[in-house]
Amino acid sequence: MSSRRRFLAGGAVAGSAGLALSVGRLAVPASAEQTGTHAGAHGGGVAGPTFRLGSMVDPNTNGFDPSKVLRDFDYGTVSRLPGGRTLREWEIASSDKELEIAPGVRYPAWTFNGRIPGPTLRCTEGDLLRVKFTNSSAHPHTMHFHGLHPADMDGVPGIGRGVIEPGESFTYEFDASPFGLHLYHCHVSPLAEHIARGLYGTFIVDPPRPRPPADEMVMVMHGFNTTFDGEGNQLYAVNGIPFHYMHHPVRVKRNELVRIYLVNVLEYDPINSFHIHGNFFDYYPTGTRLEPSEFTDTIVQAQGQRGICELRFPYPGQYMFHAHKTEFAELGWMGFFEVGE
């Protein structure tokens, strides 16, 4: 039985209305050595923090706020090349950073620019992109982008510049192609841990003719294996902090087009999913076509899969969204849309 399932068997139960986040006790890490102060602070795995009504992580604690991550698109520093082509440049640094991922639960994360997920990099098909990566972590890392590019720019060990050691920098340079919804992540072994620790982000390539105006947002689905046993996860989240959008609903306007860039990077579990209450959405897998493939209220993604969801809310009120792997939902992957006039 995986640690997650042992954890559930031990009495973790979410509140029926979704607001009473009475998840019993959280599993704590296997050893203090793996996680610094956390395990020691909770006496070796017996006592632990709880999700009680009103108990939440202060968005200021970690230096990033999932409510802002949601609509934070980083277009880089923009300039024109001779001939008129657009050049976009970014500086991304990896660092080791302890985050509070649930009330009283600290997790030794590895981050891009100090946040989970890393910044959402956004460009238009055909732009020239330069991403200067500096490794300020104590561990070797890379940035591996999904998309079309030469092998030397693939950010994997042994090819091109390969692994970027602590203290080193490297600039990845490639053309933005194809248009769609992509991602980036570290590609150093053990890969599962380098991803699970938090080294991933969204990479959006807009089509040359932009999509119609909409209230746009990014949702990166992921988890936290707080026991570091590589067997499932103890907490699940969108954009960094479990249950964040339960406490801070995503506010949208009635009848306005909402466009969700949905990415799954969840490690240690084979699938993830997205379900919305009281509504349906058009789904564009990988965002590489301008026609939707499906009109649905639930989609499933394996790790690395992603897609664009477009919808309008015809009625005001609060509508849940969550993994339809309900076990994940009850361990943090759920939130609310709040529809106003």
Q: Does the footprint of Cu ion cover residue 195 (CB under 5 A)?
A: no
Integer angstrom CA distances of residue 157 from 142, 144, 294, 335: 8, 10, 38, 38
Stretch that binds Cu ion, among 20-28, 156-164, 190-198, 277-285 (CB under 5 A): 190-198
Q: Is 188 in the site for Cu ion (CB under 5 A)?
A: yes
Based on the shown chain and the rule CB under 5 A, indicate whether residue 92 belongs to the binding site for Cu ion. no
Binding to Cu ion (CB under 5 A) within 158-187 occurs at: 186
**Shortest distance (Å) from residue 194 CB to Cu ion:** 3
Place of tokens 């390539």: 205
Nearer to Cu ion, 141 or 322 (CB): 141
Task: For residue 197, state whether it binds Cu ion (rule: CB under 5 A).
Answer: no
Q: Toward Cu ion, which CB reaches closer, 35 or 273? A: 35
Is residue 141 within the footprint of Cu ion (CB under 5 A)?
A: yes
Residue 93 near residue 134 (C-beta atoms within 8 A): yes
Q: Which is nearer to Cu ion, 144 or 248 (CB)?
A: 144
| Beta strands at 258-264 and 271-276: parallel, antiparallel or unpaired | unpaired
Q: Which stretch binds Cu ion (CB under 5 A): 49-57, 136-144, 242-250, 333-341?
A: 136-144
| Cβ nearer to Cu ion, comparing 199 with 252 | 199
**Which strands, in side-by-side order, build the sheet including 271-276?**
250-253, 334-340, 317-322, 271-276, 298-302
Q: Which residues contact 132 (CB under 8 A, 6 or more apart)?
A: 89, 90, 91, 92, 169, 170, 171
Complex with Cu ion: residue 94 or 305, whichever CB lies closer: 94
- Rounded to a whole number of angstroms, the minimum distance from the CB of residue 74 to Cu ion is 20
Mask 13-32, x = binds Cu ion (CB under 5 A)? Answer: --------------------
Closest approach, Cβ 143 to Cu ion, in A, equals: 9
The angle subtended at Cα 115 by Cα 339 and Cα 157, nearest 5°, is 125
CA distance 157 to 163: 5
Q: Return the CA Rg of the chain.
A: 20
* Residue in 18, 19, 37, 51 with CA at minimum distance from that of residue 234: 51
The residues of the shown chain that bind Cu ion, judged by CB under 5 A, are: 141, 186, 188, 194
